[in-house]
Amino acid sequence: MRFRGLVIAGASAVLVASAVGSAAQPSRTHRVARQAAPAEPVVVELFTAQGCSGCPEANLAVEALADEPGVLALTYAVDYWDYLGWPDTFARPEFAQRQNAYRAALRIRNVYTPQVVIDGRLQLPGGAGPALQKAVDEASTDRVPPPQIEFRATGDRVGVGSGRPPAGGAEVWAVLYTPGPQTVTVNGGDNRGQAVRHVNVVRGLTKLGAWTGRPALYPLPRRVETGEAVAVLVQGREDRRILTAATL
């Protein structure tokens, strides 16, 4: 998928558009027909845990989605299952905080794993199978004109263009993650002895600032690991819906 071009008003440098490519997958009969991958990806956020017995299957389902054009899949490991006997090697407290923010915005009673949140607007169990694919397909056809995102060629700043912010305003987030699959052998808890696969594991979250609907530049966090990627999300402050996203 490709992110459309934009020149941020007032910026002194031309920003270079980000591009993300992925291999096409075989068609499935239940999918909604698409003419092409959308310029703005469908953001699929999986909340999972290595100590959750139902999570390995959901991890694989989201990994399959990650290979589709027009999808940005991100995996957040949460720590609230650590008491079962295995401290999740990828978990951070801020990931559970993000999940709790979705719980409040989506008006669900409790957080759980595996849980998938699509574009910050819809949640469903990560093991939902065809229902998960259908929700992603439908989200890809239900797009509204978003603000444009572009990265400086130096990779140290990102520009967000003009647009209409949601009620309550919006925020710009940087999500640092490791692209591709990773496997962890779990030596305790419910998944003891299993090799659990994850895809696009999130390593850190940074709020870059508020977005008011006017063009703005934001500094990006420094990437400290070789091969680490960053996704930039423009997200409603109150309703948590994701207006647009791009990756560097």
**pLDDT single digits (tens) 153-202:** 988 999 999 999 999 999 999 999 999 999 999 999 899 999 999 999 99
C-alpha 143/C-alpha 244 separation (Å) is 10
Contact 33, 232 (CB under 8 A): no
How large is the C-alpha radius of gyration of the chain?
18
Residue 86, token pair as written in the block: 């295995």
Burial class, 208, CB count within 10 angstroms (exposed 0-12 / middle 13-18 / buried 19+): buried
What is the average pLDDT across 60-87?
A: 95
Residue 119, token pair as written in the block: 């574009």
Which among 206, 205, 220, 207 has a CA at the least distance from the CA of 150?
220
127 or 214, which is more confident: 214
Orientation angle between helical segments 55-66 and 130-141, nearest 10 degrees: 30
2 or 151, which is more confident: 151
